[in-house]
């Protein structure tokens, strides 16, 4: 019953507030930001903080459905408000620029008429997404018989962005196909979440919003600190329970090499995952991983875009733990690119082999060369840029002025 009422409310907003939003005059200097699941994360977070610190001429406001997130930002001197508050609605109606990391619903689809829509997205990578998906649940959403109905129920999933952040030539072509937009709409610049080291004020701002010092308090007692970051499985299966069936055995292997391992579940499956073993910790759900990404001595991942973030921003080795490869590409998500040719790291296909690798004090070796690592990183992220945030903001401002 509750779900039906929400759908009715959404339909009412679609035929009332959304058309009205096209009529409200918008301010060119007012930019609103948001993130998926009402979080304060990802590329939109970092661009919001950078603009707040370096571009005082732009009125940057964070929009969220979580009062705690809004309160955190307000207490740290930033502008923020909740989505359905009077202030949140008014600012969303008046803002000329919408910047988000997933869909317009990160901010508010129903107030977005006439605004410049800038999608910074949340990961490059191998996977097919949106219209390019041909396997799993998303294929039914975009290509199934009820797809026209979904356009009414989930309009934000089908709204095309005016600009899309795609860091390389290959990614621009890929995302243009996925979202059915022109490649010319793609901005080829690095992700804001990887730019923090270039900007001292941004680094200070990011550090102030999380207890990173407390997290790292005892890292010195370990010889190696690793993190396991699996991607989401569209069929609902858990990469944690399936890929790590015996945490006690894993912890024993880690003790042999004096390694501390963080397990970072995908945000969708984070609840309910716990561990009290000496060499294994669950990454704090509310804490952004990216400020420490380059500090991890080892990354363990699978088909996640975090692989390319790590290759771009860090120097440590990588374990590619692809224990469910065949199941993943057949039941969850098809891959847009050849897996073998577009990854870098040591392949591990079962739990026993993973434990064996992590028990070795000598570290992780791979046949892939460092030169190949650089080739893969630039294939997905392009060559390094000296002033990425300035260029990104200038591109958005130019598009707003010409819209």
| CATH code, domain carrying 245 | 3.40.50.12580
243 and 165 fall within a common domain: no
Percent of the chain surpassing pLDDT 70: 95
325 and 201 fall within a common domain: no
CATH (domain of 9): 3.40.50.11820
Q: Which residue has the higher pLDDT, 8 or 246?
A: 246
What is the pLDDT of the chain when averaged over all its residues?
91
108 and 232 fall within a common domain: no
Q: What is the DSSP letter of 127?
A: B
| CA gap 143, 141 in Å, rounded | 6
Determine the pLDDT at residue 10: 67
| Confidence class for position 350, pLDDT limits 50, 70, 90 | very high
Locate 114 and state its tokens.
Answer: 């006439």
| Confidence class for position 329, pLDDT limits 50, 70, 90 | confident
Is 375 part of any domain? yes
326 and 355 fall within a common domain: yes
Determine which of 75-89, 129-143, 181-195 has the lowest per-residue pLDDT on average: 129-143
Is 129 part of any domain? no
Q: Is 316 helix (H, G, I), strand (E, B) or coil?
A: coil
Determine which of 165-179, 261-275, 293-307 has the lowest per-residue pLDDT on average: 261-275
257 and 367 fall within a common domain: yes
Percent of the chain surpassing pLDDT 90: 72
Q: Which residue has the higher pLDDT, 321 or 154?
A: 321
Determine the pLDDT at residue 2: 61
Strands across the sheet containing 298-301: 280-282, 259-263, 224-229, 298-301, 318-321, 346-348
300 and 372 fall within a common domain: yes
Is 150 part of any domain? no
| CA gap 38, 10 in Å, rounded | 18
What residues contact residue 122 under an 8 Å CB cut-off, 6+ apart?
36, 42, 43, 101, 102, 305
Residue 284 in this model has a pLDDT that exceeds 70: yes
Locate 228 and state its tokens.
Answer: 């396991």
Determine the pLDDT at residue 342: 95
| Confidence class for position 59, pLDDT limits 50, 70, 90 | very high
199 and 234 fall within a common domain: no
| Confidence class for position 271, pLDDT limits 50, 70, 90 | low
Determine which of 218-222, 237-241, 298-302 has the lowest per-residue pLDDT on average: 237-241
Residue 1 in this model has a pLDDT that exceeds 60: no
Q: Which residue has the higher pLDDT, 139 or 348?
A: 348
Beta strands in 105-232 (DSSP E): 116-119, 163-165, 186-187, 224-229
374 and 320 fall within a common domain: yes
Is 353 part of any domain? yes
Locate 79 and state its tokens.
Answer: 């502008």
Residue 395 in this model has a pLDDT that exceeds 60: yes
Mean pLDDT of 240-251: 93
24 and 173 fall within a common domain: yes
Mean pLDDT of 222-227: 96
Determine which of 115-129, 256-270, 382-396 has the lowest per-residue pLDDT on average: 256-270
Mean pLDDT of 268-275: 68
Residue 233 in this model has a pLDDT that exceeds 60: yes
Determine the pLDDT at residue 362: 72
Query: 3-state secondary structure string, 245-288?
Result: CCHHHHHHHHHHCCEEEEECCCHHHCCCCCCCCCCEEECCCCCC
pLDDT digits (tens, 9 = 90+) for 173-222: 999 999 999 999 999 999 999 999 999 999 999 999 999 988 999 899 99
Among 93, 119, 113, 115, CA closest to 34: 119
178 and 273 fall within a common domain: no
358 and 334 fall within a common domain: yes
Q: Which residue has the higher pLDDT, 215 or 367?
A: 215
pLDDT digits (tens, 9 = 90+) for 368-380: 788 999 999 999 9
230 and 366 fall within a common domain: yes
Is 213 part of any domain? no
Residue 85 in this model has a pLDDT that exceeds 70: yes
| CA gap 322, 288 in Å, rounded | 24
| Confidence class for position 167, pLDDT limits 50, 70, 90 | very high
The domain in which residue 340 lies consists of 222-381
Is 214 part of any domain? no
Cβ atoms of residues 26 and 116 within 8 Å: no
Is 215 part of any domain? no
Domains of the chain: total: 2
Other CB atoms within 10 Å distance of the CB of residue 182: 11
Is 291 part of any domain? yes
């Amino acid at each position: 019953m509750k779900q039906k009422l929400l759908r009715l409310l959404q339909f009412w907003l679609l035929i009332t507030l959304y058309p009205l939003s096209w009529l409200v005059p918008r301010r060119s200097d007012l930019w609103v930001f948001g993130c998926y699941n009402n979080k304060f994360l990802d590329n939109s977070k970092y661009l919001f903080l950078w603009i707040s610190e370096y571009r005082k001429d732009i009125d940057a406001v964070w929009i969220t459905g979580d009062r705690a997130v809004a309160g955190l930002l307000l207490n740290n001197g930033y502008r923020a408000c909740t989505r359905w508050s009077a202030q949140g609605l008014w600012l969303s109606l008046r803002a000329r620029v919408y910047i988000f990391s997933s869909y317009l619903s990160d901010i508010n689809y129903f107030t977005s008429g006439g605004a410049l829509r800038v999608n910074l997205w949340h990961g490059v990578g191998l996977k097919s997404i949106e219209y390019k998906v041909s396997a799993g649940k998303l294929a039914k959403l975009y290509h199934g018989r009820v797809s026209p109905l979904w356009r009414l129920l989930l309009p934000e999933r089908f709204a095309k962005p005016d600009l899309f952040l795609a860091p390389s030539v290959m990614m621009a072509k890929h995302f243009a196909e996925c979202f059915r937009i022109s490649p010319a709409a793609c901005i080829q610049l690095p992700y804001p979440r990887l730019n923090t080291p270039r900007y001292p004020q941004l680094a200070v701002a990011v550090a102030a919003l999380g207890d990173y010092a407390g997290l790292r308090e005892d890292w010195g007692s370990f010889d190696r600190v690793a993190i396991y970051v699996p991607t989401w499985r569209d069929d609902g299966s858990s990469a944690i329970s399936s890929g790590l069936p015996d945490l006690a055995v894993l912890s024993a292997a880690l003790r042999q090499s004096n390694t501390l391992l963080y397990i970072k579940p995908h945000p969708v499956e984070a609840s309910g995952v716990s561990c009290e073993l000496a060499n294994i910790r669950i990454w704090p759900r509310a804490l952004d991983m990216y400020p420490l990404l380059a500090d991890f001595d080892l990354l363990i991942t699978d088909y996640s875009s975090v692989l390319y973030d790590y290759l771009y921003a860090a120097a440590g080795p990588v374990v590619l733990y692809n224990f469910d490869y065949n199941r993943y590409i057949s039941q969850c998500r098809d891959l847009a690119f050849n897996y073998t040719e577009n990854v870098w790291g040591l392949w591990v296909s079962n739990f026993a082999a993973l434990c064996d690798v992590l028990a070795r004090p000598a570290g992780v070796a791979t046949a892939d060369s460092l030169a190949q690592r650089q080739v893969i990183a630039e294939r997905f992220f392009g060559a390094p840029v000296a002033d990425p945030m300035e260029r990104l903001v200038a591109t958005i401002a130019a598009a707003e002025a010409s819209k």
